[in-house]
Amino acid sequence: MDRRTFSKNIALAGAAAALSPFGIARAQARKLKVGVILPRSGYLGFIGQSCQKGADLAPGVIKDMLGVDIELMNADFESNVDTARTRAERLIQEGANVLVGAFDSGASAAIAQVAEQRGVPYVINIGAAPQITEQGYKFVFRNFQTAIDIVREGLDLIGALFQATNTVPRTAVYMHVNDTFGQAMTKGIGAMLPLRTHLPFKIVDTIPYDPAAKDLTVEVSKAKASNADFLLLVCRLNDAILLRREMVKQRWNPMGIISPGSPGMYEEQYFKTLGKLSEYSISNVPWYNPNAKLTKIVEKAFLKQNPKDRLDFHGLNVGYTFEAILIAADAFKRAGTTDPKTLADAIRQTNITDKMSLGGPIKFNAKGQVEGIGSACVQNLNLLPTVVLPTSAAKAKPVFPAPYYKKT
Amino acid sequence: MSVELAANVVVAGVLTGLVYGLMALGLSVIFGVVRVVNFAHGEMMTVAMYAATVLFASLGMDPFVCILPVAVAFFFFGYALQRTLINPFIARPEHSQFMLLVAVALIIVNGLLMIFGPSARTVQVDYQLESFEIGGILLDKARLYAALAAVATAAGLFAFFRTTRAGKAIRACADNHLGALVVGLDVKKLYALTFGLGAVCVAVAGCAMVLLVDVTPPLGPAYTLLAFVIVIVGGLGSMPGALLGGVLIGVSEALAGLFVAPSAKGMFSFGLLILILLFRPQGLLGRRN
Amino acid sequence: MTRTSASLAILGAVLVAFPFFAGNYALSVATLILYFAYTGQAWNVMMGFAGQLSLGHALYVGVGAYAAAGLFFHYGLGPWAGLWLAIFLCVAMGLVVGFLAFRFGISGVYFALLTIAFAEFTRIGFDHLDWLGGPGGLFLKVAQRDSWDLPNFRGPPLMYYYAMLALCLLALLVCSRLLRSKAGYYWQAIRENEEAAQALGINTFRWKMLAVAISSAMTAVSGVFFAFYYNNLFPEQIFHISRSIEIILGPIIGGIGTLFGPILGAAVLTLLSDGITDGLAALGWEIPGIKQVFYGVVLLAVIMFLPNGIWPPIARKLKL
């Protein structure tokens, strides 16, 4: 390098420093501010609080793993879409470098628009509405299955279940909540089931029900009258409990209850309320890999913060919320800056193999969606949600048909 | 679609309807006499349900046994509520009353959230999941007992209003407010008494309901709405009307669920409400004013 | 009069200049305030002017929103076309509700319950309408624009703020005109004593129907705005009774029947809500539910001690 080039370089560096006085400071920023937007009150309060546990343990675990400092900025959007929007604006204004949330698809869609408008990356922890990643957003990312993925994985796992237990059920009665999630699942099932000719069963009756219904007598009566071999169920927590109780009262004992992918039957309340009756229910859901190295680390941190609780009951919520923050931290480490555009680009280049959820590595496609997230067949055994399939992650063997099955 | 299926569904509808009717009974009494739009009715029942779960968890009391202490507590609570908060609002326009009770409901729901947290609370008794089998019909035990409690309470209230002096005085108030004042009845005290009685009904309903439904803080509003629908359909101020309205709603929802889509059964209750409002606004068993 | 116009002009100027010295968060909150101010004003026409308590106003927001969104989603027709369909449908529905209520002599609490029943009926109905997305929701394709695209109603948040501000000012003008017109006086008479008004020869039915029509038409516009601002609609959310209650909080707290009540009410309530959240956060009392308890207590206090709303005493003090 000659003197002229050297001087030119010095001059350029000086000019650069003068033109971006914060550039140097930012590049040296070692703390990432993560805005966490969850519904901690309102009708989604229970789930939001569950997800928050995943967020709360993240800074400690990530500091050990990546040496990155994370500051959480928590916001409660109170299960209200308007509040989600304004809270997102607020967090960005107060300096959040990246947003994480929000479980509810309506809120996530609102936050996505704000994030895109302000150019701040937003990582969706949980939310299955396919449309959110179909809008052509550049700043919105989702590390969770879409409803379509959930159904596909769920149906495949049902096939694997029947193979593993050597059973051939011919008929199923399909009951589902008539809400956002239930409808998306129903569409998926309607499209995909006929194509899966290796699955031996047909749906003989479809019974939609109101998620807020407090009385499911009629629905269960109809299902029982269909004489189907097993119950295919897309539900939420409260109705799952009501249904199970009603099944007992009406003395209906099918081969089993299988969910192709919905919350409810693996949640703590289901076990606490139903006790022995919760046994053998099956949910095929995106889950964490119990054998993964990261899972064990997160579990330890979880138990330290919540000594009277179990990770099993919060698996989905805690796992995916934690991973969303992990993605942000990992991108921050690679980018070395909190500049939002650079962060977003860095997130797009994510390739995390050391993760806790099932399935392939965390890699985003062009739409900001992770493909290849795996589901597990989770069966309630000994009052705990237990992974029984795939065999690589299984902790026990599946039980099907359930011992209470009475052939009519 | 077998007859047995339909019969089972209708019977269940009747039983459930009676429990709904019990819940609406309190509202009918309050609304019929004091003419206050109690939009915190469902929330009050939620409090009763929580009370039952707490008594069950700490003392192991069966919900039906809980009825006595909870009802007594609620009587005083209702009495006090009426004398302090509600009384000034009787003469005020409906939207003020509505707003007052919406605020009260908001406080109750979130107060419960703060105290008990968001997860559902429940009671676990042996007979909760059992049913009697008569012919081909399955009678849910818990529902049957709750329905019996509903009928007993309604009968008790009915007797109170027909036979006791206070009861007759309250009916006089409801029929003719001015006349009651002229005759020298202590209307304020009678209103408070009525509110107390309405609260007692809510307490009984709550204790019975907790056997059928797990209680969460946001449970109230849906029941408030249902109570209003039943009261309008059955007839304001009529106790048998509340039960009848409840049964009607219960059965129509059950049949709608059976023959149409279960997820749409809510539409039928509201449809029924609209029809009643248009063609018989005093309700099925109410009297035209 | 001139005092009022002067104050109004100053307020207008402040609101127009507001975005230039406010941050993004404040802008989003302000847009929300204006939205509730406008929708509250629309509701106020039915309640405050004609004395009919509607507790199911979310019905018109929802139908308006879905009408415009449906046209855009299925036929690519922009919001200005959707606006007309929205208004048409909402007015039609409002007239049906009004006709049923007034012809059959339903009023007071019964009318309120009728409106709730219609809103709930529609909510469940839309949950089963797959053509409009059903319970899964209707998602409009969002296009990020930094410039103002008024024909498609797409643009930066600033555009939505000014749009809502314009709507509010328009509503204020329209309502003020209405109050001073023949309609306004007839409405006042009906509100004070309907029987006496009828005895005087006023066709109360016709004037009440007019109030309903205007109210539902104005609310329809609110719905169209909502559809293109949020870009996703769920029957469970938009028709829900909690939305109806949100709409009426502003006017009731601010002052029913007054012109400025709904606007003041919306502003006070939104700021109160945020204020309580911030205050509690500062105190470290982050228990879920505590914010709503405080909010409820404030509502209770206002309703008990200021039964006509916040605005009338303030107006008296300011001699407006």
In a domain, B87, yes or no: yes
* pLDDT at A15 (0 to 100): 46
Indicate whether A58 pLDDT > 60. Answer: yes
pLDDT at A260 over 90: yes
The whole-number pLDDT of residue A399 equals 93
Burial (CB count <10 Å: 0-12, 13-18, 19+), residue B273: buried
Q: Which residues from chain A sit within 8 angstroms of residue C288, using beta carbons?
A: 40-41, 45, 49, 76
Concatenated DSSP letters of A344-359: HHHHHT--B-S-SBSB
User: Residue A13 above 70 pLDDT?
Assistant: no
B286 in a domain, yes or no?
Answer: no
pLDDT digits (tens, 9 = 90+) for C155-209: 888 899 999 999 999 999 999 898 889 888 888 888 888 888 888 888 888 888 9
**Prediction ipTM score:** 0.84
Contact list, B13 vs chain A (CB under 8 Å)? 217-218
The pair phi, psi for residue C286, each rounded to 5°, is -100, 50
Query: A255, A283, A293: which is closest to A384 by C-alpha?
Result: A283
| Chain A residue at shortest CA distance from C28 | A86
Q: How far apart are CA B128 and CA B134, in angstroms?
A: 18
Per-residue HEC secondary structure of C226-263 comes to HHHHHCEECHHHHCCHHHHHHHHHHHHHHCCCCCCHHH
Q: Where are the domains of chain A?
A: 29-145+291-373, 148-288+376-389
pLDDT of residue A32: 94
Q: Which range has the worst mean pLDDT, B164-173, C67-76, C86-95?
A: B164-173
Extract the tokens encoding B259: 């023959």
Band of the pLDDT at B1, cuts 50, 70, 90? low
- The predicted pLDDT at position A281 comes to 95
How many Cα atoms are found within 13 Å in the side-chain-facing hemisphere of A56?
14
Q: Which pLDDT value is given to residue A7?
A: 44
Q: In this prediction, what percent of chain A has a pLDDT beyond 90?
A: 67
Q: Phi then psi for C23, rounded to 5 degrees? A: -80, 180
Stretch 193-212 of chain C: residues touching chain A, C-beta under 8 Å: none
Residue A408 binned pLDDT confidence (cut-offs 50, 70, 90) = low
3-state secondary structure of A144: coil
Q: Min CA distance, A105 vs chain B (Å)?
A: 20
> Looking at residue A29, what is its pLDDT?
62
Which of B2, B119, B263 lies closest to A210 in CB terms?
B263
Chains that contact A by 3+ CB pairs under 8 Å? B, C
Nearest CA in chain B to A270: B120
Q: Considering only the beta carbons, identify the residue of C23, C124, C237 that sits closest to A81.
A: C237
Residue C251 to chain B, least CA–CA distance (Å): 11
User: Helices in A145-255 by DSSP H: which ranges?
Assistant: 147-165, 180-192, 217-225, 237-249
What is the rounded CA–CA span in Å between residue B47 and residue B109? 9
All residues at 6 or more sequence positions from B74 whose CB lies less than 8 Å from its CB, including other chains: B44, B48, B196, B199, B200, B202, B203
- For residue B163, being part of any structural domain is answered with yes
User: Looking at this protein, which amino acid is placed at residue B280?
Assistant: R
Give the range of the structural domain holding residue B203, as residue numbers without chain letter. 3-279
Q: Which CATH superfamily is domain A29-145+291-373 in?
A: Response regulator (3.40.50.2300)
Average pLDDT, chain C: 88
Residues 172..231 of A with a Cβ closer than 8 Å to B: which? 178, 207-210, 212-215, 217-219, 221-222, 225
Query: A159-185 in b/e burial notation, b at 16+ Cβ within 10 A?
Result: ebbbebbebebebbbbbbbbbbbbbbb
Answer yes or no: are the C-beta atoms of A262 and A285 closer than 8 Å: yes
Torsion A218-A221-A225-A229 (CA) sign: positive
**Which of helix, strand or coil describes residue B28?**
helix
Q: CA dihedral in degrees (A221, A222, A227, A233; nearest 10)?
A: -100
pLDDT in tens, B196-207: 999 999 999 999
Mean pLDDT of A94-119: 92
Q: Which residue has the higher pLDDT, A284 or C136?
A: A284
Q: Is the pLDDT of residue B162 over 90?
A: no
Question: Hey, which residues 115-154 in chain B have their CB within 8 Å of chain C?
Answer: 118
pLDDT of residue A11: 44
Of the residues A186, A215, A237, A408, the best mutation for testing chain B's interface (the one with the most B CB atoms within 10 Å of its CB) is: A215
Length of chain C: 320
Mean pLDDT of A42-70: 91
Q: How far is the C-alpha of B236 from the C-alpha of B259, rounded, in Å? A: 30
Whole-prediction pTM? 0.85
- Confidence band of C144 (pLDDT split at 50, 70, 90): low
At B239-260, the pLDDT tens digits run: 888 899 999 999 988 888 888 8
pLDDT of residue A96: 94
pLDDT, one tens digit per residue, over A264-317 is 899 888 998 899 999 999 999 999 998 899 999 999 999 999 998 888 888 789
Report the topology of domain A148-288+376-389: Rossmann fold (3.40.50)
Phi, psi of B60 (to 5 degrees): 65, 25
The span from the first CA to the last CA of chain A, in angstroms, equals 90
Quick one: what percent of chain A has pLDDT higher than 70? 93
d(CA C117, CA C236): 15
Structure tokens at C58: 């979310």
Give the model's pLDDT for residue B288: 57
Q: Tell me the C-alpha distance between B113 and B219, whole Å.
A: 11
A130 Cβ under 8 Å from any chain C Cβ: no
Q: Which of C50-64, C124-138, C211-225 is predicted least confidently? A: C124-138
pLDDT in tens, B101-156: 889 999 999 999 889 987 788 888 888 888 888 887 888 888 899 899 889 988 99
pLDDT tops 80 at residue C56: yes
- pLDDT above 60 for B80: yes
Domain count, chain B: 1
Chains that touch B (3 or more CB pairs under 8 A): A, C
Question: Confidence class of residue A14 from pLDDT cuts 50, 70 and 90?
Answer: very low
